[in-house]
Structure 1
Amino acid sequence: MYGQVKMPVCGPYAQFYNKDSINVTSFGASTVQGNGEMLNFQTPLKAFLERCYTGKQVQVSNYGIAGETTAMGLLRFDNAIAQKTGFLLILMGANDAIQIADNKGRVSLTLDNIRTMVNKAKEQKLDVILGTLQYFVEPAGRTPEAILMRRRNRIIDQLNTGFKNLARELGVFVADINSVIGKNKELYADIVHPNARGYRIMALVWFDALNQTINENYLSPGIVQNFPNPANGFTKLGFNLPSASRTRVTLYNMRGQKVAVVFDDFRNAGFHEEQISTELYPSGVYILYYELLNMKFSKKIIIVH
């Protein structure tokens, strides 16, 4: 069960998320629908988000219906995203691969359907993340079933390549589930659906993709406590920039006298850690004064030798 495995490490970006809630809508077929409380990715994903984004309201909704192709999903897509805000996770196409392998569909039609979904979601200001499809389990040998599964997996590869190209074209993130789960039979409950551990790993991939989206679009400027503190020889300054900016950090003593400018440079958007030497400064208590994006922050630092 996912609860028996270590929870993910929380990145510093969680401290700078500038919204009050995280609303996630998941859309797809049977892998999204899951099977009960433990055989789904939504339950562990919600737990991961609640652990890292402390104090934020987290909602993860499930709009998966088993057996559907992307064409069928498109018919209910508008209702699924109506009045939704936040993030949309799309994982759909395995049933298309079954049909395409039987010469009853085309990869291009599946990609067109996904494109339509993404564009509709973007019109509603949803942040879309496209999931790549996991493989079908391939039996050993040259049995008819093994040959069929390999044919389906060639279609899966084509669809996943198409999904990644679509994501680049349309400016959305990818949760590359396929690259993580691969063809590891220990992560499957049957020929295509994950078991409990597989679903937890899938949740980790979604979690990382959500963090990437948040890191790019929803972070406020801010700083974290320098570490180590007390500092003996060096310390690391941590700060977040929602856009490229000059950052200047000045060291003051407790009498308010300027000691030195310890960092002054330009950095791109994102979280940064910059190591500075403390060897030149006498032992004592100081203030680090940060200036970034027309905002000012301060943190106490103790230097010991």
Structure 2
Amino acid sequence: MFRMTPTPSLIYCLFFCFVVLSFPACSPSAEKGDSDVFEEEGLAEQEAQGAEGENAPLLLFFGNSLTAGYGLDAEESFPGLVEARLKELEIAYRVVNAGLSGETTASGLTRLDWFLEEEPAIFVLELGANDGLRGIALTETEKNLRSMIQLVQERYPDAAILLAGMQIPPNMGTEYAEAFRQLFPRIAAEEGVTLIPFLLERVAGDPDLNLPDGIHPTAEGHAIVFETIWPFLAPLVGA
């Protein structure tokens, strides 16, 4: 989840990996130990908060703790900032943050169907980082990402799909890290979806923009992530 520059030290990278692997479910919601409660209550609450009417189009963010906004209030996460911008512009969208800490592409695939009971006008897929930090075979990660994209495409052909690109530190080897980085643009091109090149651009590896755990962005970090993704969302929502 870090850009591949020599700035972060090897110790910092290894610490990053250790913490993520040691605490795979580190969001406040996941700490309850009941993802079903998270899904049912979280979806209902966010739909109610973001609704401008039942017929407003749905913007669905589907990812891990980065999307969930670990350690922050909901409105400080980048999906929350997108919702605030839409309200500011008086653009009627319901924004649902379906982020779950510790999510891998495999676990994401198993729960995606539940969130697709309603058609999303825009679907933002942010998964894969936890796969990379665990050294999961890239063929498996690729298969799961493609399956999620294809599931949305087959069920809702008119939905706009954005895939968030990710990078990881080279603790699993530089070849693996580079192949992981290249995975996202290749999938986006071949599946015909929009690529956000690197979700954590200008944020990853900067201690001032991450919480003390060195992993999750601060509110200021999420504001930068919002700036990264908004240019891709703006034309889709008519901003």
- Aligning the two structures, in what range does the TM-score lie when normalised by the shorter sequence? 0.5 to 0.7
Alignment of 1:72 onto 2:95: no
Query: RCO greater where, 1 or 2, for CA within 8 Å and sep 6 or more?
Result: 2
How many angstroms does 1:195 deviate by?
Answer: 0.9
Q: How many residue pairs are counted as aligned between the two chains?
A: 178
1:158 match: 179
User: Among 205, 209, 217, which residue is 1:183 paired with?
Assistant: 205
- Contact 1:49/1:207, CA 8 A, preserved across alignment: no
Shift in alpha-carbon separation, 1:206–1:153, aligned structure 2, 3 A: farther
State which structure, 1 or 2, has the greater radius of gyration over its C-alpha atoms: 1
Give 1:29's aligned amino acid.
Answer: N
Q: Return the offset for 1:38.
A: 4.7
- Structure 2: distance between partners of 1:205 and 1:158: 23
* Structure 2 CA distance for aligned equivalents of residues 38 and 156 of structure 1: 32
Matches within 5 A, 1:4-15: none
Aligned to 1:33: 68
Say if 2:193 is the partner of 1:172. yes
Seen in structure 2, the aligned counterparts of structure 1 residues 209 and 106 have a Cα distance that, compared at 3 Å, is same
Q: Is the 8 A contact 1:133 1:156 kept in 2?
A: no
Q: Contact 2:162/2:193 (CA < 8 Å) preserved in 1?
A: yes
- RMSD of aligned residue pairs (Cα, Å): 2.4
Partner of 2:228: 205
Provide closer, same or farther for how the CA distance between residues 157 and 213 of structure 1 changes in structure 2, counting only shifts above 3 A: farther
Residue type of the partner of 2:85?
F
Q: CA deviation at 1:182?
A: 4.4
Q: Provide the residue aligned with 2:141 in structure 1.
A: 110
Identity fraction in percent: 24
Residue deviations 1:38-67 (CA, integer Å, cap 9, x gap): 542111111122223x3x312110111111
Of 146, 166, 169, the residue aligned with 1:133 is 166
Query: Counterpart of 2:74 in 1: which secondary structure?
Result: coil
Q: 1:38 to 1:75 in 2, by over 3 A?
A: same
CA shift for structure 1 position 191: 2.7
**CA separation in 2, counterparts of 1:205 and 1:39?**
15
Compare the two structures and name the one with the higher helix fraction: 2
Q: Is the 8 A contact 2:64 2:99 kept in 1?
A: yes
Give the alignment of 1:1-305 within 5 angstroms: 21-35=56-70, 36-52=73-89, 54=90, 56-100=91-135, 105-123=136-154, 124-125=156-157, 126-133=159-166, 135=168, 149-151=169-171, 154=174, 155=176, 157-176=178-197, 177-189=199-211, 190-213=213-236
> After alignment, is 28-37 or 74-83 more displaced?
28-37
Task: Report the equivalent of 2:24.
Answer: none
| Separation (CA, whole Å) in 2 of partners of 1:85 and 1:150 | 35
* Contact 2:170-2:177 at 8 Å conserved across structures: no
Asked whether the 8 Å contact 1:89–1:131 carries over to 2, the reply is yes
| CA shift for structure 1 position 115 | 0.5
2:191 maps to amino acid: L
Going from structure 1 to structure 2, the CA distance change for 1:165 and 1:180 (only over 3 Å counts) comes to farther
Query: Which TM-score applies when normalising by structure 2?
Result: 0.66
CA deviation vs aligned residue, 1:147-184 (integer Å, no higher than 9, x gap): xx531585554333211111111111112324443433
Q: For 2:77, give the aligned amino acid.
A: N
Structure 1 unaligned blocks of 5 or more: 1-19, 136-148, 220-305
Q: SS of the counterpart of 2:93?
A: strand
Q: Whose strand fraction is larger, Structure 1's or Structure 2's?
A: 1
Q: For structure 2, list consecutive stretches of 5 or more residues without a partner in the other structure.
A: 1-54
Q: SS at 2:214's partner residue?
A: coil
